[in-house]
Structure 1
């Protein structure tokens, strides 16, 4: 029970332009006890990050308005947001895309479609790394 209380205090911002993926991912994470915020593109995601300061960001790579790379660049330049763990999740599964995402400063890269266990493990690892830093 104590673990669920701790997890419920963790807020994850999900940034994804596909409405179905956005809603399904938010629902899955809420069922696991996380609190979620959602944004339909990087521009809205940037605004919500500055407003709510989430514990972790889960972000698609290719979106209108502002893509994931541009968003991550903005976040890394701001002292208030640069330490928020950031996970790309994208259908782009080529090694070059994954390397580009990690080289840009993402903590992890999860390919879609994803297994829930894989996503949860990535989230837990990123949150653990943040606590140790």
Structure 2
């Protein structure tokens, strides 16, 4: 069973996303902000990370920067979940190493497809 770490500050979105993934056979762990997500990324090491961009304390861009800088976490597939989606934001996300970009609101099929495509 693949483990997904969801880093999302909105509790409703975090819980709904987790439920969709759990119903699709994934093991899900969640963090309510970037700082908490970074602290949770090593035990257990997730197979993929879904992360919001705009969060208090540590935003999604800083989360991926820190993960990609650490050899222990650099290869974990990373997908942004965001309500924003301007071209420059998508480009920055991909330049930082994200393998996917999901715009909120999203449907369950798009979520599962993107997660499945990004998993090794």
State the TM-score, normalized to the length of structure 1. Answer: 0.88
Please list, as runs of the form range in 1=range in 2, the aligned pairs for 1:16-55 lying within 5 A after superposition.
Answer: 16-55=8-47
Alignment size in residue pairs? 120
Pairwise CA distance, 1:96:
1.3
Pairwise CA distance, 1:109:
0.5
**Normalized per residue, which structure has more helix?**
1
Point out where structure 2 has 5 or more consecutive residues left out of the alignment.
Answer: none
1:89 aligned residue: 81
Aligned-residue CA RMSD (Å) = 0.7
Point out where structure 1 has 5 or more consecutive residues left out of the alignment.
Answer: 1-8
Bigger relative contact order (CA 8 A; separation at least 6): 2
Greater gyration radius: 1
SS in 2 for 1:99: helix
State the TM-score, normalized to the length of structure 2. Answer: 0.97
